[in-house]
Each structure stands twice: as C-alpha cells, then as structure tokens.
Amino acid sequence: MVRNLRSSTTDSFFIYSDFQHGTAPMDFANRYIQSDDSKICVVMVGLPARGKSLIAGKAMRYLGWVGIPARVFNVGSYRRFNTPQPSATFFDPHNEEGERMRRAAAEAAMSDMIQWFNTGKGVVAILDATNSTKERRKWIYEKCQEADIEALFVESICDDEDLIMSNIKEVKTTSPDYKGQDPEEAALDFRNRIRNYEMVYETIADSEKHYTFVKLINVGSTVIINQIKDYLSSRLVYYIQNLHIKPRSIWLSRHGESEFNLSGAIGGDSNISERGEAYARALPELMRKSGIPENTKIVIWTSTLKRTIQSARHLKAETGYEKLEWKALDELDSGVCDGLTYEQIAEKYPEDFAARDEDKYNYRYRGGESYRDVVIRLEPIIMELERSENVIIVTHQAVLRCIYAYFMNVPQEQSPWMEVPLHTLIKLTPRAYGTEEQRFKADIPAVSTWRGKGTSAKHQEFPAEGEAKEETKE
Amino acid sequence: MVRNLRSSTTDSFFIYSDFQHGTAPMDFANRYIQSDDSKICVVMVGLPARGKSLIAGKAMRYLGWVGIPARVFNVGSYRRFNTPQPSATFFDPHNEEGERMRRAAAEAAMSDMIQWFNTGKGVVAILDATNSTKERRKWIYEKCQEADIEALFVESICDDEDLIMSNIKEVKTTSPDYKGQDPEEAALDFRNRIRNYEMVYETIADSEKHYTFVKLINVGSTVIINQIKDYLSSRLVYYIQNLHIKPRSIWLSRHGESEFNLSGAIGGDSNISERGEAYARALPELMRKSGIPENTKIVIWTSTLKRTIQSARHLKAETGYEKLEWKALDELDSGVCDGLTYEQIAEKYPEDFAARDEDKYNYRYRGGESYRDVVIRLEPIIMELERSENVIIVTHQAVLRCIYAYFMNVPQEQSPWMEVPLHTLIKLTPRAYGTEEQRFKADIPAVSTWRGKGTSAKHQEFPAEGEAKEETKE
C-alpha cells in the first residue's frame, strides 16, 4: 500500500517538479537542473537605486518557492562589515583605499558563493552588487568559468530621474549604511555616491556579447535578452521581465464558512453556511476598512468552486469590480479522501494519514494532489499576480497557504501547517525590502479548520503558542 | 445530473482556459483576451529569407492549438495573385509599377484583416510581409490604431550568411514564385531580389520606441522586447523566443499494449501485456529503421505511468539515451470512470457518455479532465519540445493526440477522434513549410483501442474510410 502513496520529494522546478519520486530522480536532476552539478550565478549589474536588490530578493524568493535552492550574496554587506558607515568619498573611484576595500568585499562574496556551490546544495546564486565595469564583469565571468558556474548578467538600467529619486527615498535612506542619520542628509549623500559610480559606469557592451545577459531598461519597458541557453535561465528571465514596481496591495481571503466546514469534511463543492453568507456580506466593508487608496481598481479572483464564488458575490455586486474565476485556484485535490473528515481518513487510510503528517508538503493524496503539486499549478497565477496590480483572491486554505508562502517567504516544511483562519482578510503590500502584512478579522464566528500534527480532531483550536504558530515575515 | 458535467466550451488560452463554462464567460473574455473585442496584429518585419513565414506559421498553429483564433495574412500571396512570377526587377524600389503593386497587395491584406476582426471571431492576425520601411510600419500602426487593433511588431534580423543561404535553398527555391524553375537560377534570382530589399531596409529604430516590438537577432540568440503590455502578447513573445531552426525529428509512440487494453478498461496504471513487452523489445530496432542521423543525441520522454516506462525500458537500456518522466504526459484523467470499460460507462453514466460523444474535446469526466484540460497541461511540454532537439515521446492515446494535433495542425473537433494505433512509431520532422510525417508499424498484433462516435464496442476496428480517418497534414 505504501508504494501507492506517490509522495514526490525531489527538488523541483516548474513542470519538471511534476516528476515523481522513486522512478528516476537522477535523470530528473541531470536534465532539468541541466546537469548533476548545475550552478547558475545571476550577476546583477547597475547603478545604485536601480532596483537591483529588489530583483535579487524577488528572484530568490520565487526560486525557493518553486523548489530551487537559491541564495543572494550581497557584496555591500561584506563591505559594510568592515566599513559600516562610509561617506560618499569612500566610493570615489580615485579613493584607492575605498577601491581596495570594495574589491576585497567582492572577492569575499565570490569565495563564499563558490564554497556554497561546492556543498552541492546550491543551484542559483545571485551576486548583488553594482558590477559596473567591464573589467569587474570579466573577472566574475572568468571566476565562474573556472568553477564551472554559468554566469547570467542581469543589468537594470534606468534614466527616469523620478523613478531613481523615489527609489532613493524609499529604500536607501532606510538602508543600514544610513542607520540613525537624517533622511534628507542621507538622500543627499546617496545622490553623491551615485555620481561617483556614474563616473565609471559601463553598460554591458557589444564587446560582451559572448556573455549570457538580460538588460532591463526602465523597469522592463524594454528588455534585451542575449544568449540564454538553458530552460532554468529562460524561466527566470521570464519571471524577472514580468516584475513591476507600481505600488499595490494583494488581499487574500478564504471563502466564508462552508457546509463541509461545519461537518468537518474536506474538499467537495458545498455551499457556504449561514455564517459564511454573513462573511460574504461583511467582505465589502472589511475591504474598505483595510484601506483602499482612492481611484484604485481592484480585480476579484475566485476559484471555480461554489464557496468562493458565493463568498465574493456581494463584494462584486456592491463594488462592480471585475471578477475572474480560475481553476488553478481550486482547493488541493484530496483524491479518494474528498468528502471525508480527518477522523474518517485516519480510520480508512491510517498509513496515508501518518505519511501525510510526516511530510505534509510532499504527500500526495491517492488520486489527488500534494502541496508541491499545488505550487506547480499556481506558478502561472504567481506570474500573473506579478504582472497585475490590486487583486483580492478569494480561495481555499491550502491554496492560500501556498500563495502566502510565496509572498512571505515561508519555508516548505512550515507552509502546510500555517493557520489561515476563516472570516479573516489578509492584506499584503509589497515594499522594497519585503512584504507588509495586515490581518482584518470579521466579527463573525466560524469553525476552526486547522488541524495539528498527529491529530484528527474535527474543530481544533489553533494553539496560542507553538511551532506551527510561528509566522515568517520578511 | 447534467449540471455536473462541467463541460468547458469557452475559447481559451493557457491557464485561463481552465475557466469553466457556465459561470462567467463574459468575465473570462473581458479579462483574458484583454477586452471584449481584443485584437492583436502581429506585424512581421524583416528581409526575405529571415524565417518570417516560419515564425508566422508556427505562431498561428500554436495559438490555434491553445484555443486562440489566429490567422496569417500573407501579403506576398495577394501580390502573387496579380503577378504570379515576377523577376527581380519587379522588387527594385525604383520600379514604380512594382512598388504600386506591392502597396496595393499590402492594402488588400490589411483590409481583409480588418474585415476578419470585424466578424468578431478573430483575436490574433499575423501580417506576413517584409514591412521593411519606417513609413510602411507607420502606415500599418495607424491603420491598426484606427481599427482599435494592437500592433505587435516582430522583426527577424539575421546577418549570418550561411543561415540566409540555407534558408534560401530550403525554402525559397520551392516557393510558388519559382514553381517549375531551375533551383540554381531561382536561388540566384532570389539573392538579387534580397539585394533590392536591402537597399531600402530600415530596422526598427529608436524613433519607433513607442511601438510594441520584439527583435529576434540571429534566430533568437539575442532578443529585444519593447513595451509589451498584455499577457497574451507576453506569452506569444515567450513562445517565439523559444523557437529554433536546427534540423531534428520528434518520435511519438503509445505504450505497448497494456493489461487494461486487453480488458477494454480505460485509465489505470496497469502493466504492459506480453505483446506490449514484445513491442518494447522491438522499439530500438523500429527507431533505427525510422532513420536516425549519425551522432544524433535523442532524449526519451515518458509519462510517470508504468506502461510507458516499461515500454521505453529496452530502448533506454540498449541505447543509453537520457530518459525523463513527466507527470504532464500522464493519460487524460477519466475521473470516476477510471478503470471502467466504455460499455460500463455507457451503462453507469449514460448522460455523460452521450455528452462526451457530443463534444469530446470539451467534455470533462466527472472529477477528471477534458481534452482541453490536457492541452493546457501540455503547453509547457510543447514549449520545452520547441526548445529541444531530438526527442522520442512514449505516452498515451489522448496525450499523443494532443501533441500530434499541435504539430500537424489538427482542428479541435477532429483531434479526439484520431486513430493512433498501438505498436506504431510516428516520426515527425519539422520543415520550413510544415511537418513531415512517417509511420512505422511494428509487426506485433495489439487490440484496437479506437472507439467510434456512438459506440461502446470494446475492440473496435478503425474504419478503412470515413470522417475520423481523414488525416490532416500540413
């Protein structure tokens, strides 16, 4: 029986993740992470305040979410270790001491990166620095070649002064370099620092055509892609070119309490309960309470199941927001267990029940899905969310956990155990250095659908303290 | 009961196609084909022999396959109507009569295109012509704006003389313009014709930055993407940038006869029969017989189900080819009908059985999939196939029908009824003007799994003549 569990534990990427464990994992690794020891170094290139760290951070989060081990190596933080609060003159290219220190920081970052790859656990490293001269890029390229690492240069170019200044104000004056300093003074110092970089900045040139690179010009309004060879790089570039930096929020809500929730059954396509209907009626006001900037267009996304459509009904009717239904937002398919309670599953399929508790992220219901499967089918949803602006998603517990995990960088082991209570609106607002979260609880009671490891209780209360409670926020 | 059938008949694209009929089709159309009357005109730009028609043809086939109505308007064929076999001097820009005729052809194509959009059935038109001057592009852009059509310019640039010459020899000397002429003479004439175009050719310039465009340089080794706004264009551009023109073949085979095939049951995960095992043993020789160029690396793709893995086992062992297993290649999920025979389905779910015959492409098994669903999950497989070179795919009847339909441009109504017999190897070789097909039958008997409309016969023989037999080849 156990051999039917079809638990897929291979590290995975996109559709390749659909690969099932126990059949030919080596072939998987050989092909899809290109080779047994595939290593990609994403080398950021660009002047300060061009969004490099934002892109680096998002790419890392995205890769981690789809199961590719990725890490950012920020050269600035190596430099900062020795020179915590440098003045603008430190960055003057004629300042030899400064130049020496920055070179040392780059070398330290490269060396750590190569060491990380050598552990065999790394697949994508992101080298976050200006890398603003041909010479520096040549040095990195050669270092990578020596270590059998593929270099992918990602240059962010921006000549829109407003964009640059808004980036400086939002990001840089709160950077560790300026901790405790006056923001206006900090902005001024930073503007000077950029001028120093501008003196020596060299965009990726024709003489560097043999490199694999992407140039993003003015936040992706123009994109130049050169010599992309492998699938992983091509998907990563596609992700990066879909990013935008317009301010927006994403709201997440589970459907209102359903009839199945009341009976403790999972899956199905039941109607919402009376209390669920009360939540649906309360949702428009809850949205307003959460704060919606004036003239903001919001789009409602639901799954194709009745309980989410019913839950968004009043919101749509009252606001006239556009609405979309996605099959990709349907609840995790519990296969043969669909319609059963946890108690019944524990009784009928004790081995499966235990296996699921053991590794909830990878456990695939017989004839159904695992959390990993859900992440794969949500990948295009995430891509579309990155392209979109303000969206409220009304969906299901497992799906919401996966989407939340993407934005809040929750590790795979934790995300399936997260508490996402009914009748609660979550508002996520992307910021330069992470995602801000707010929760708004409707004052409408509902059963708890959270289940602790090893229990099959119907309506268990989420513990006030404990491992599963731990929230991971950026 | 009928309301549970979940037949999805909406025209669809990518994951959006997951949208289910009966819930909110207008919302779907509004959002995902951008607006109620979304119209995109892909304007090809480039000198002759730069692969424009190839790109145009593949894009149209791809869009049609994912459910987006698309059509190519080839200006040359409008011109050809009046001037069937022009000499090179016709294309001399100083030849006023020639210029006037070509302008008239462009106007006729534009006018037909706009008329096609006005029928309300068109979503993507592809204007296949050189469109080699700023003036011509400005005229097209303005014409599109007037008609509320979004223009997406796709320029193919190639300065690799070998690539150009091989394109001329493969494509142009067999073009309708040179019908019945000596190939060497034709190639010479064509080279002269290109020189005329080169005199006036203007690549898309900085002054055209307000256009949405893509430049493909030397078959996608560099790609420049400018001002892509909507999702449909972004996916189309991603598809185009994955195309390559290296010679290769794709082999398709169903698994060897399975135990379920013998009993007439559908779905499941049974072993192959004795005769299926004989086919597995015969497959390496059948591959050799089909013709494999020397030093060709082939990759084996199977589904994750036992019958395909078993069928590819000897091929892998004998050749050492790399092998991959894809869940996306698993057979169409027949939901509650999994493991039943057609007879049992007809008896147990008569309404479903009739509904499936009525619209087999869109019929979704209860708790399972439709052909449309399978196409959606195969979309990344097609993308990866376009990026790959030589591949043999060992998969299942419905999945093979969908993949075959993509390459051979089989309409949705026909593809679910196609005969794909067991123990037969299909070799597809992409050519400039379509895909060449060869079939190689192993001399090993197997049951027929083909079922005609309205029957529930277990092992029906495919009719020698008849509608479903009709093969659609490019």
E strand intervals along B22-175:
40-45, 70-74, 124-128, 150-157
Q: Is the pLDDT of residue A433 over 70?
A: yes
Give A72→chain B minimum CA distance, Å. 26
Q: Most distant CA pair in chain B: distance in Å?
A: 74
Instruction: Say which range, A57-61, A311-315, B433-437, has the weakest mean pLDDT.
Output: B433-437
E strand intervals along B308-409:
322-325, 390-395
Is A260 among the annotated ligand-binding positions?
yes
Output the CA–CA distances (angstroms, integers) from residue B403 to A65, B72, B207, B375, B415, in the order listed.
Answer: 29, 22, 42, 8, 10
**Which of B10, B222, B305, B362 to mutate to test binding with chain A, by most A CBs within 10 Å of its CB?**
B222
Q: Is the pLDDT of residue A417 over 50?
A: yes
Mean pLDDT of the residues in chain A? 84
Which residues, at least 6 apart from B56, have a Cβ–Cβ distance to it below 8 Å? B42, B44, B72, B74, B126, B128
Residues of A labelled catalytic: 255, 331
What is the structure's pLDDT at A77?
86
Which ipTM did the prediction report? 0.74
Residue B173 CA neighbour count, 13 Å, CB half: 17
Please tell me which residue in B155, B331, B369, B379 is annotated as part of the active site: B331
A28/B327 Cβ within 8 A: no
Rounded-to-integer distance, Cα B453 and Cα B445, Å: 24
pTM above 0.90, yes or no: no
**Regarding beta strands A124-128 and A40-45, do their DSSP bridges make them parallel or antiparallel, or are they unpaired?**
parallel
Given strand A40-45, what is the order of strands in its sheet? A70-74, A124-128, A40-45, A150-157, A212-217, A222-226, B222-226, B212-217, B150-157, B40-45, B124-128, B70-74
Residues of chain B positioned with their CB less than 8 A from the CB of A19: 304, 324-327
What is the structure's pLDDT at A156?
95
Q: Is the pLDDT of residue B154 over 70?
A: yes
Q: How many interface pairs between A and B have CB atoms less than 8 angstroms apart?
A: 110
Segment A79-91 shows an average pLDDT of: 71
Could you report the per-residue pLDDT of B350-372, keeping only the tens digit for each?
Answer: 998 889 999 999 998 887 888 99
CB B299 within 8 A of CB B321: yes
Residues of chain A positioned with their CB less than 8 A from the CB of B16: 326
Q: Is the pLDDT of residue A51 over 80?
A: yes
What is the structure's pLDDT at A463?
57
What is the structure's pLDDT at B286?
97
Instruction: Say which range, A93-107, B6-20, B252-266, B301-315, has the weakest mean pLDDT.
Output: B6-20
Residue A353 pLDDT grade (very low, low, confident, very high; cuts 50, 70, 90): confident
Instruction: Say which range, A171-185, A339-353, B99-113, has the weakest mean pLDDT.
Output: A171-185
Is B244 tagged catalytic?
Answer: no
What is the structure's pLDDT at A152?
97
Q: What is the Cα Rg of chain B in Å? A: 24
Q: Is the pLDDT of residue B312 over 80?
A: yes
Q: Is the pLDDT of residue B292 over 90?
A: yes
Binding-site annotation: residue ranges of B for substrate: 254-261, 307
The helix/strand/coil state of B66 is: helix
Best CA proximity match to A38, nearest among A264, A232, A287, A276: A232
Q: What is the Cα Rg of chain A in Å? A: 24
What is the structure's pLDDT at A69?
92
Q: Is the pLDDT of residue A177 over 90?
A: no
What is the structure's pLDDT at B380?
83
Output the CA–CA distances (angstroms, integers) from residue B263 to A10, A222, B260, B280, B421, in the order listed.
Answer: 35, 58, 5, 20, 17
> Which residues of A sit within 8 Å Cβ distance of B?
14-16, 18-20, 23-24, 27-28, 30-32, 209, 221-227, 231, 234, 238, 241-242, 299, 304, 309, 322-328, 367, 380-381, 384, 387
Q: Is the pLDDT of residue A85 over 90?
A: no
Residues of chain B positioned with their CB less than 8 A from the CB of A24: 323-325
Best CA proximity match to A466, nearest among A418, A413, A415: A418
A31/B325 Cβ within 8 A: no
Residue B170 pLDDT grade (very low, low, confident, very high; cuts 50, 70, 90): confident
Residues of chain A positioned with their CB less than 8 A from the CB of B381: 15
DSSP state of B272: B
Residues of chain A positioned with their CB less than 8 A from the CB of B364: none
Output the CA–CA distances (angstroms, integers) from residue B422 to B257, B261, B276, B311, B395, in the order listed.
Answer: 7, 10, 9, 11, 11
Rounded-to-integer distance, Cα B335 and Cα B267, Å: 9
A387/B234 Cβ within 8 A: yes
A18/B328 Cβ within 8 A: yes
Residues of chain A positioned with their CB less than 8 A from the CB of B32: 324
Residue A469 pLDDT grade (very low, low, confident, very high; cuts 50, 70, 90): very low
Is A259 among the annotated ligand-binding positions?
yes
The helix/strand/coil state of B94 is: coil
Q: Is the pLDDT of residue B4 over 80?
A: no
Segment B313-317 shows an average pLDDT of: 97
Closest-CA residue of B relative to A309 is B23
Could you report the per-residue pLDDT of A120-147, keeping only the tens digit for each?
Answer: 889 999 999 999 999 999 999 999 999 9
Is A294 among the annotated ligand-binding positions?
no
Segment A312-338 shows an average pLDDT of: 92
**Regarding beta strands B322-325 and B390-395, do their DSSP bridges make them parallel or antiparallel, or are they unpaired?**
unpaired
CB B298 within 8 A of CB B390: yes
Output the CA–CA distances (angstroms, integers) from residue A194 to A132, A166, A182, in the order listed.
Answer: 12, 14, 18
Residue B335 pLDDT grade (very low, low, confident, very high; cuts 50, 70, 90): confident
Residue B424 pLDDT grade (very low, low, confident, very high; cuts 50, 70, 90): very high
Q: Is the pLDDT of residue A27 over 80?
A: no
Percent of chain B scoring above 90 in pLDDT: 55
For residue B241, give the nearest of A32, A225, A328 by CB distance. Answer: A225
Residue A465 pLDDT grade (very low, low, confident, very high; cuts 50, 70, 90): very low
B325/A24 Cβ within 8 A: yes
The helix/strand/coil state of A392 is: strand
Segment A78-104 shows an average pLDDT of: 77
What is the structure's pLDDT at B364?
85
